[in-house]
Structure 1
């Protein structure tokens, strides 16, 4: 029997299997440009250059000429910043395009993919009003810190979403995005980051190497390094070191769960530990994730993430057990490490066809059987993308977000009482039609 959180139901690219096949092309349409925060800060500084102030205080026509010269000088000083913006946009567009082409190269071309590609295009077009608004927030909001470096690899970057209210230390969510282990990207978490930041929660969206740039062990290592950065540095951004939560969605939920379990094993003396502790994580939220790769490999093959590709991502059939958290927690060698794990809450839609809802339920059952504090929360009629895309784009009070916020603010009645109603980003008729033609 499924378990439910004791909250009043009322919110929120990535995804495994088919979600991964489509997410790159969807997001490319809405998140195809970028600029760094340092560039924006530099531009703001140019608005009050001393030369301009001197020009404004000078008299007569000579002063007017100096004023014009100063303004021209200021405008000229902005040209490098604009050029950097264009360079950043080109780099991000190239990355997303390369991810999409890489995915298509591995999946091949056939009737199935032609129909899915057409469905994906229509799906993205219907949700475009929301994507454009979220993209504008991502690229131009002063509350977003993009591409913060957390490691030495090219993809070792994370985005920070900061609340407007800076009074006191804020709870923190370290989020690992989905993407079928092939096209995961930190900007996929922009909608979630925005929604949680509106509720006074700092969100760190962690990027990581994708296949074929890396395999599953590289992804888990990158995610772990990103979590370590958050645990050791988030206080400088206003985060509360005593209220850090780990979250993953779809493939990201699997990667985050592997990183958490690996860290627990390392701390229990069975493996290598790094510069963060499981005790620093108050709870783990898994959204629409898969945790037993032995059971999912054939399912993914039928859905289009072919067995040969999936086994290459997972470093061969012999490694499926090693990267299946559900299997690992039941092993006698690591059971003592399970006691170190934080509270685990697994969210899943009952109408999810990309990753079956049983994936979350059986993992929660496995954790409970070895004494861990775990529960599964299943949502009636929700698909793989409803929880992460359609519902938050719909606005109003989102059930998933309210459940997450209820856990984070369990001891803060004032924060819980804050109105969580969000503005609608896409008309309902377009959301319903998008759901019907979705390729996921």
Structure 2
């Protein structure tokens, strides 16, 4: 089967949901990084994570904890090797945790798992020669929500004797930051609809102490409205004088903005370049990514 036809078949499959992402890893380089897989950050089966280390690991490299999406119902860390490879190829240490999902748990237990994974990362990062490098949280879709809540709402890290001050910046791809009342029937039971707590929404936690943010979304996203979510949170953070970079990228939908991180599809949009530039700006002179690209990005 010709490569183009294979790619189109994969893309069609992937558009049906995040749980179908595993085949994308067939097209991603398996070299250039070292992987530490199945590390335990807790005692429960879903409290495991994988770490992707750059082959040329520099002291105090930035650490990025990436939370995947799936409506808090689906997802496996193994499906996101392409994210680990993308970040590690740019000199970053990528940490990809699993977390408990519905129906095993509901809000806010997956936030507690996310905070626990971040606390474990903070405690063990010295083992990867990065005890003092900058720390970031990042996510796509439901995972972007998890990252946002850790960065904006100090309740979750406080339970791990930490605060959002340990986060140098956070990155949201196609994140839902204001979704009340909940319309999606898959998400309703996750958040106890219609008794969903108002303070479950990242938007209400925007404050002057929020860490810098990079918010990216696709203009063609018909699942998570970029105007209501990415644009509205951008304005809320900017009103608090928080540094925010944002872009709504043309010709990208809810899944394609994630796939644009994968090596075969990075030409779709400069998503990995924008992430690298944001991390580099927050890290300062201590981080020089191996690939230097222009940090501007088309938006609308």
TM-score class normalised by the smaller sequence: 0.7 to 0.9
Aligned partner of 1:288 in structure 2 is: 174
Q: Which residue of 1 aligns with 2:65?
A: 174
2: distance between equivalents of 1:132 and 1:282?
33
How many angstroms does 1:273 deviate by?
A: 3.7
Q: Distance in 1 between matches of 2:190 and 2:217?
A: 24
Instruction: Specify the alignment match of 2:272 in structure 1.
Output: 401
Out of 199, 205, 213, the residue aligned to residue 90 of structure 2 is 199
Alignment match, 2:296: none
Instruction: List gaps (5 residues or longer) in structure 1.
Output: 1-18, 31-127, 301-305, 330-337, 421-440
Which residue in the other structure is 2:196 paired with?
319
Deviation, structure 1 residue 412:
3.9
Count of aligned residue pairs for this structure pair: 277
CA distance in 2, matches of 1:178, 1:158: 15
* TM, length-normalised to structure 2: 0.82
Alignment CA distance shift 1:361-1:236 (3 Å) = same
Q: Per-residue deviation at 1:259?
A: 2.6
1:350 is matched with 219
Higher relative contact order (CA 8 A, sep 6+): 1
Preserved CA contact (<8 Å) 1:178 1:250: yes
SS at match of 1:241: coil
Q: 1:404 to 1:228 in 2, by over 3 A?
A: same
Give matches, 1:85-124, under 5 Å: none
Does 2:125 align with 1:219? Answer: no
Structure 1-normalised TM-score?
0.58
**Distance of 2:247 and 2:257 partners within structure 1:** 12
Equivalent pair of 2:153/2:205 in contact (CA under 8 Å): no
Select which of 110, 125, 133 maps to 1:242: 133
Q: 1:48-59 maps to which residues of 2 (within 5 A)?
A: none
Match 2:25 to one of 112, 124, 131 = 131
Question: Which consecutive unaligned segments of at least 5 residues does structure 2 have?
Answer: 1-13, 294-300
Greater Rg over alpha carbons, structure: 1
Structure with a larger share of its residues in helix: 1
Partner of 1:255: 146
| Residue matched to 1:278 | 164
Give 3-state SS (helix, strand or coil) of 2:64's partner: strand
Q: Deviations over 1:369-404 (max 9, x none)?
A: 234333422111211122211563224595011111
Deviates more, 1:232-241 or 1:210-219: 232-241
Counterparts of 1:21 and 1:218 in 2: how far apart (Å)? 26
Alpha-carbon distance in 2 for matches of 1:419, 1:345:
18
1:374 maps to: 244
SS at 1:178 equivalent:
coil
Pair 240,352 (structure 1): closer, same or farther in 2 beyond 3 Å: farther
When the two chains are superposed, the root-mean-square deviation of aligned CA atoms in Å is 2.7
Alignment partner, residue 385 of structure 1: 255
> Are 1:348 and 1:378, in contact at CA under 8 Å, matched by a contact in 2?
yes
* Alpha-carbon distance change, 370 to 290 in structure 1, aligned in 2, over 3 angstroms: same
Separation in structure 1 between the aligned mates of residue 17 and residue 98 of structure 2, nearest angstrom: 18
